[in-house]
Structure 1
Amino acid sequence: MGRQTESLPNVRVVSSRTSHAVRVAVLADSDTRWKWGALTARRIAPGGRPTELSGFLLRGRATPTARQLDEVGASADDAPREVTGVAFLRELREESYDVVVLALVGGAVQAMLHGIAALGLTRRPAVVTGYVGVVYEKLSDGLLLRHGADLVLANSRHDAQRFRAVYEGVGADAGSVTEAALPFLGGERYVPETGRDTLVFAAQPSVPVTRADRAYLLRRLVEHARLHPRREVLLKLRSKPGEHTTHVEEFPYQRLAEKLPGGAPPNFRLVYGNMGEVLDRTDLLVTVSSTAALESLHRSIPTAILTDFGIREPLGNHHFIGSGCLASWDQLDGGGRPSADPVWADRQGVAADGSYAAAFDEARARLTKLVATGELPAIAPYYTATTAPGYLPGLLARYHLAADGTPLPSSRTAQAETGGLRRVVREAVRGAARGAYRHGVQRVAPVIRRMGEL
């Protein structure tokens, strides 16, 4: 991605209101979705007026730490606020926003859409949502949960066609689907550097998922480093043990690396940091199916998608069929260096040909028109009490909303307690409880599961 914000529209993240500014609220539930949401807001910000961007993090298992937020490169003047879904809806009722970007899992998007609709705002914000990366599973489920937003962004022409086909196939309005691109592509085009030879493996928290498969990948990385002692081999990690991203990581590579027989060779290292900065020194990017592959292809860096575990939907590497990038460790050990198919790359929104600058024009134009419209029509999700009576109520209840999108009674009681010592004590107790819960989910539970495998 790289910390290259000079090409982005002039958007500040602020805590106070500036008159005549377009006010944007981004609600995200993980570090990667915060990156997508904040950078998307910058890319499609309506032109002609200054823009204020307020950040909110939906409280949950994957709520990112300050370190994770800093690493993703979507910087902010003020730290995003951690909120519940009900608290975010209260914010929308009490503060006037022009645009809301929902960078959330599908169920949370659906809950917020029904919650915003239930607010009955005279002038509601335009709602934007989409996907943080490659859409390789739960296509219909995820899309229908996002239906009702004013803009459902597709990261490529290929995705836009698929999205419209799903909506039209169930008789839903497909007019919200808008072709764009991943907002964090950037950086200089790859140019080999004399004397530098660096292979980077982009790890994923849940692909592959088993301890044996992850140990296999680590072993092949180390063996590759030993076979090529003059090549720097880097294992790029997204989180440290105890931190969570979008998915649970039960077997961190850091822990597996501690048990390497004989230790690691001197040309092998674990690295963290901003992906764009790591790509600045990469000569070959290897992954199973990480979105980092699209960042690499955008910069024309040689990129390999591993086939060692097969080409299978659960792995996500089937998305790269036709890319020219599929390869195994045996082929890479022998000097293989895949070359991407330009037609495939173009359809996937990689835009290595330099057209990326215009990828957000349509979305920006549509959002500008929506903001200028004034009173927008009522939000109308595909899922309602009529179309999904056995699904929607339970889904909304997970976010403390009733079937009509209003807060459940317990949530209303919590809203009423808005001030004084009682609120301070309550928040302190809840903060301690959240800390204990996260410790249990992120530290204790994985240990218990690993013990069960012994």
Structure 2
Amino acid sequence: MPASATKPLKVAVLADSDTRWKWGALTANRIAPSATGNPEDTADGAGIRLDGYLLRGRATPTARQLGEVGVTADSLREVTAVEFLRAMREESYDLLVLALVGGGVQAMLHGLKRIWEDRPQRPVVVTGYVGVVYEKLADGLLLRHGADLVLANSRQDAERFRAVYEGVGADAGSVTEVALPFLGGAPYTGEPDPSAEQGSRPYTVVFAAQPSVPESRKDRTYLLNRLVEHARRHPEREVLLKLRSKPGEHTTHIEELPYQKLSQRLDLPPNFRLVYGHMGEVLDRTDLLVTVSSTAALESLHRRIPTVVLTDLGVREALGNHHFVGSGCLASWDQLDAGHRPEPDARWVARQGVAADGSYDTAFDAARERIAKLLDRPGGLPPLTPYYTPVTAPGYLPGILARHHLGPDGTPLPGAPAADKEPGPVRQIVRRAARGAYRHGVQRVAPVIRRMGEL
């Protein structure tokens, strides 16, 4: 449907975790050209119909996680890869956002190419990354190649993405610079005045936890102890541990050692609390954001909140904090306890898509314009053309597709789960039990086996 049509654009988002659903849905709302011809109409989701699909797997978000994300859709259902492909064959959409891990994106690109091969019109297909890209740059990018738009969340990422594609001889024209879609909120106005009347909020320190960084019990316990010690040193402050998920829930990354569990062994001071909820709401009352390498640091910097990326465990690729080299935000707990406050480097911030200078309102214009042109293209869009094919990657691609029950040509394999009616009570019970067993294995059994192996 042309962007100038009168009815709302139909948009689909396929996501495999709570954080990717948040990124995908918000991105769709930001980049969909408006049905009235005014891009601002869709900046907050007006003018589109959004259908959400949650890819069934270990990280499929729970109802609580979906509610915490705070993004609504006109419809939302859980699907397998094959069920999703069938829905894409039966439904007609204008825009499709693939908010998946790289392998999932690649599998869907081949599956979609197959089911759309005899269709004169197809949606514009968009993909990208939830946050900071600090590992598997080439691998993740080439798995995403073939989408009409591969979104880069910053100028730096756009340059890196194009260099990778051009370096292997792949078309880099899909790379489109945008920004993280969940930046926003009121700018930081400064520390609370301790001399103000009673009722003024306390100075608040927030540690943004990550499910898999750091990984070891020793390192996670160290960070928790330092946070608790900071609360004891500063009883006048409120110290919050911001958690992504509750025990038993999974997010984008597996969390074997939840901070909730580790904190049960400690005598926590009264000014220390564990909190959940929307990150933006927590940042509304934050005076100092501390993390190892969470994307929350970029949200905080966007709002000009003092932000620290910890160096206590080293500056290492495995931690992701190497991405913040040059930011001016690197510091240790010892420095924070002594009163250090970081000063972010303006040039570094500008290259990271943080848009603290007020340019965020125009960050998605280029993507909207490109999508509008593709929607208006005479004769429809050409077939999807991923870089990986049975010719270019015969030893890699078939395994990726098989994990999603697809053959080398993108066709569902025999015995693959097919789309059917809503699963019955028995199937739902079995599915919940299987997920529970998996999560128990990750969070209980695996750490025990690892400790035994270290003896």
TM-score normalized by the length of structure 1: 0.91
2:273 aligned partner, one-letter code:
R
Task: Tell me whether 1:361 sits opposite 2:358 in the alignment.
Answer: no
Give, in whole Å, the separation in 1 of the partners of 2:341 and 2:174.
40
Map 1:363-382 → 2, pairs under 5 A: 363-373=367-377, 374-382=379-387
Residue 412 of structure 2, aligned match among 400, 407, 412:
407
3-state SS in 2 of match to 1:411: coil
1:362-382 C-alpha deviation (Å, 9 max, x unpaired) = 001101111122510110000
Map 1:292-303 → 2, pairs under 5 A: 292-303=296-307
Task: Tell me whether 1:56 sits opposite 2:53 in the alignment.
Answer: yes
Residue 174 of structure 2, aligned match among 160, 173, 176:
176
Residue 315 of structure 2, aligned match among 311, 314, 324:
311
Question: Is contact 2:6–2:35 with CA below 8 Å preserved after alignment?
Answer: no
Counterpart of 1:236 in structure 2 is 242
Further displaced range: 88-97 or 66-75: 66-75
Shift of 1:64: 0.2
3-state SS in 1 of match to 2:416: helix
Give, in whole Å, the separation in 2 of the partners of 1:433 and 1:393.
29
Relative distance call for 1:207 and 1:336 in structure 2 (3 A) is same
Counterpart of 1:118 in structure 2 is 114
Counterpart of 2:152 in structure 1 is 154
Counterpart of 1:212 in structure 2 is 218
Question: Is contact 2:9–2:35 with CA below 8 Å preserved after alignment?
Answer: no
Shift of 1:450: 3.0
Give, in whole Å, the separation in 1 of the partners of 2:286 and 2:367.
32
Give, in whole Å, the separation in 2 of the partners of 1:301 and 1:86.
44
Question: Is contact 2:7–2:35 with CA below 8 Å preserved after alignment?
Answer: no
3-state SS in 1 of match to 2:376: helix
Counterpart of 2:40 in structure 1 is none
Residue 350 of structure 1, aligned match among 344, 349, 354:
354
Give, in whole Å, the separation in 1 of the partners of 2:400 and 2:188.
45
Give, in whole Å, the separation in 1 of the partners of 2:281 and 2:273.
16
Residue 65 of structure 1, aligned match among 33, 51, 62:
62
Structure 2 residue ranges without an equivalent (≥5): 37-46, 195-201
1:51 aligned partner, one-letter code:
I
Counterpart of 1:99 in structure 2 is 95
Question: Is contact 2:109–2:384 with CA below 8 Å preserved after alignment?
Answer: yes
1:303-359 C-alpha deviation (Å, 9 max, x unpaired) = 000001100001000000000000000000111111111110000010101000000
Q: What RMSD over aligned residues (CA atoms) do the two structures have, in Å?
A: 1.4
3-state SS in 2 of match to 1:332: helix
Give, in whole Å, the separation in 2 of the partners of 1:159 and 1:437.
38
Give, in whole Å, the separation in 2 of the partners of 1:308 and 1:111.
39
Structure 1 residue ranges without an equivalent (≥5): 1-17
Map 1:316-331 → 2, pairs under 5 A: 316-331=320-335
Residue 268 of structure 1, aligned match among 268, 272, 276:
272
Shift of 1:77: 4.6
Task: Tell me whether 1:392 sits opposite 2:379 in the alignment.
Answer: no
Give, in whole Å, the separation in 1 of the partners of 2:261 and 2:90.
46
Give, in whole Å, the separation in 2 of the partners of 1:157 and 1:107.
25
Shift of 1:445: 3.8
3-state SS in 1 of match to 2:33: coil
Give, in whole Å, the separation in 1 of the partners of 2:409 and 2:143.
16
3-state SS in 1 of match to 2:435: helix
3-state SS in 1 of match to 2:312: coil
Task: Tell me whether 1:227 sits opposite 2:233 in the alignment.
Answer: yes
TM-score normalized by the length of structure 2: 0.91
3-state SS in 2 of match to 1:93: helix
1:247 aligned partner, one-letter code:
H
Counterpart of 2:44 in structure 1 is none
Identity %: 69
Residue 125 of structure 2, aligned match among 124, 127, 142:
127
1:225-263 C-alpha deviation (Å, 9 max, x unpaired) = 111111111000010000000011010000111001xx1
Question: Is contact 2:32–2:95 with CA below 8 Å preserved after alignment?
Answer: no
3-state SS in 1 of match to 2:308: strand
1:111 aligned partner, one-letter code:
A
2:123 aligned partner, one-letter code:
P
Task: Tell me whether 1:250 sits opposite 2:251 in the alignment.
Answer: no
Give, in whole Å, the separation in 2 of the partners of 1:431 and 1:371.
39
Shift of 1:436: 1.6
Give, in whole Å, the separation in 2 of the partners of 1:59 and 1:430.
14
Counterpart of 1:451 in structure 2 is 448
Give, in whole Å, the separation in 1 of the partners of 2:85 and 2:394.
23
3-state SS in 2 of match to 1:357: helix
3-state SS in 2 of match to 1:380: coil
Q: Give the length in aligned residue pairs.
A: 426
Give, in whole Å, the separation in 2 of the partners of 1:57 and 1:326.
36
Question: Is contact 2:50–2:74 with CA below 8 Å preserved after alignment?
Answer: no
Counterpart of 1:33 in structure 2 is 20
Counterpart of 1:15 in structure 2 is none
Give, in whole Å, the separation in 2 of the partners of 1:394 and 1:288.
33
1:31 aligned partner, one-letter code:
D
1:103-126 C-alpha deviation (Å, 9 max, x unpaired) = 000000000000010012221111
Shift of 1:446: 2.1
Give, in whole Å, the separation in 1 of the partners of 2:429 and 2:107.
26
3-state SS in 1 of match to 2:412: coil
Residue 137 of structure 1, aligned match among 130, 135, 141:
135
Counterpart of 2:43 in structure 1 is none
Residue 440 of structure 1, aligned match among 437, 441, 446:
437
Give, in whole Å, the separation in 2 of the partners of 1:113 and 1:177.
16
Counterpart of 2:197 in structure 1 is none
